[in-house]
Structure 1
Amino acid sequence: MIVIGITGGIGSGKTTVTNLFQAHGIVVVDADVIAREVVEPGSPLLAHIAEYFAKHYNTDLLDTSGQLIRSKLREIIFADNSAKQWLNEHMHPAIRDEILSQLKAAKSPYVMLSAPLLLENGLDKLCQRVLVIDIPEALQLERTQQRDGVAQSQIEAIIAAQMSREERLIKADDIIDNSRDTQSLTPQVEHLHQQYLSLV
């Protein structure tokens, strides 16, 4: 199975691009979606995380319906590196197992693995090619603020935690420029889709 890794900084438009590939019948395995699924209410992993943060940070991370309060968790791990490390050590194996299982089950000519931290977390080792969605940092800030309505400082912290734009571009096999409007994406996706089919 040919796996194309797709990544880009926050607000780069990964979902818009993967939707266009899905319109061609390509299966997209989304690490962000999987990261939410492994901590669904009632999952053993969520119980373990909630217990750890209650004990060490005196914080209740679950709302009344048993859902993870992501904003609270994000606040802690951005302020405390050891909390982030602990969380990653427990989340990553669970996410990786589910990614592998979904890639194996995919029934399209090739499959895409979408992950914001594809390169940072070494998930590119599962891929034959890496596709980077590229936009300038100023545009990342602008689009993310419009989409999420969060403070600029929080977006800047996320950008700083991700690989730099330059590093990402060096590691890319293919690049889609998303600095213009959505219409400009269609021919770029069409071209790469044909290229990926030829690899199969």
Structure 2
Amino acid sequence: MIKVGLTGGIGCGKSYVADLLRRRHIPVYDTDKEAKRLMMESATIRRGLVDWVGERAYMPDGTLNRERIASYLFASPLHAERINRLVHPVVQDDFLQWVDKQDGPLVVMECAILYESGFDRLVDEVLLVRAPERVCLERVMKRDGASEAQVKARMAAQMSDEERCRRAHYIINNDGGSDVEGALRDIWVKIDRGRLRED
């Protein structure tokens, strides 16, 4: 089984590509979605969050207090590092357990911070989705109702596209005019051929 990491910067269209893959019946593990689930379900994460953030890390009904967590997270780089050290190992274990339950030849991990989290070590190939900065900016402003300055600040905190390109095995341009589905088909053929050679 080949494990493919799907990554890209904010507004590049990773989720769109992930949906295309699901339509091709390829299993996709969404790390962002699963991390949110695990922050609710994992006793390890719950204990850590309560220790660092306080009892108000969770609402009276037991759900995550997202506003409180975000406030703690963005207050200091040290806080963000603490949360990452707590959450990432649990997500990693969950991903590996999920992989064990799949029976197809290919699986995908969708992860915005694939390299920053070290999750690239869990996959065999990396597929990068990218788009021009202006396109990404406009997409996120429209999607989130955020200002240009807010989106640019989020972009500035990310790994550069140049570094991602240097480390990725495959790249898809999702600039709004390129044939994303065609490019994805071509890449999948190459990945599948590599799998068959290994088999």
TM-score by length of 2: 0.88
* Aligned residue in 2 for 1:185: 180
Measured after TM superposition, the shift of residue 43 of structure 1 is: 4.0
Displacement of 1:158 in angstroms is 2.4
Q: Which amino acid in the other structure matches residue 196 of structure 1? A: I
> Any conservation in 2 of the 1:5–1:114 contact (CA below 8 Å)?
yes
Q: Distance in 2 between matches of 1:126 and 1:167?
A: 19
Q: Is the 8 A contact 1:27 1:107 kept in 2?
A: no
State, as a whole percentage, how many aligned pairs show the same letter.
30
Question: Residue 158 and residue 69 in structure 1: after superposition, are their counterparts in 2 closer, same or farther (change >3 A)?
Answer: farther
The letter of the residue matching 1:36 is K
Q: 1:32 and 1:70 mapped to 2: Cα distance?
A: 14
| Cα offset, 1:131, TM superposition | 0.7
- Matched residue pairs, number? 194
Kept in 2, the 8 Å contact 1:61–1:68? The answer is yes
Gap change, CA 1:74 and 1:152, over 3 Å in 2: farther
Residue segments in structure 2 that go unaligned for 5+ positions in a row: none
Q: 1:154 to 1:106 in 2, by over 3 A?
A: farther
Measure the CA separation in 1 of the matches of 2:95 and 2:150: 28
CA contact (8 A) 2:26 2:106 kept: yes
Structure 1: runs of 5 or more not aligned: none
Whether the 8 Å CA contact 1:21–1:193 is kept in 2: the answer is no
Contact 2:48 2:86 in 1 (8 A): no
CA–CA separation in structure 2 for the residues paired with 1:46 and 1:149 = 31
| C-alpha distance in structure 1 between counterparts of 2:149 and 2:49, whole Å | 26
The one of 157, 161, 165 aligned to 2:161: 165
Residue 16 (str. 1) matches residue 16 (str. 2): yes
Q: Tell me if 1:194 matches 2:189.
A: yes
Q: Which amino acid aligns with 1:171?
A: R
Q: Which runs of 4+ in 1 moved over 6 A?
A: none
Query: For 2:46 and 2:144, how far apart are their aligned partners in 1?
Result: 24
Structure 1 window deviating more from structure 2 (25-34 vs 153-162): it is: 153-162
Are residues 72 and 135 of structure 1, via their aligned partners in 2, closer, same or farther at CA, if it must alter by over 3 Å? farther
After the TM superposition, which residues 1-200 of structure 1 pair with which residues of structure 2 at under 5 Å, given as runs?
1-40=1-40, 43-44=42-43, 45-54=45-54, 60-181=56-177, 184-200=179-195
Deviations 1:166-200 (A, max 9, x none): 1111111100000115x721111111222222122
1:137-157: CA deviation from partner (whole Å, max 9, x where unpaired): 222221112112234443333
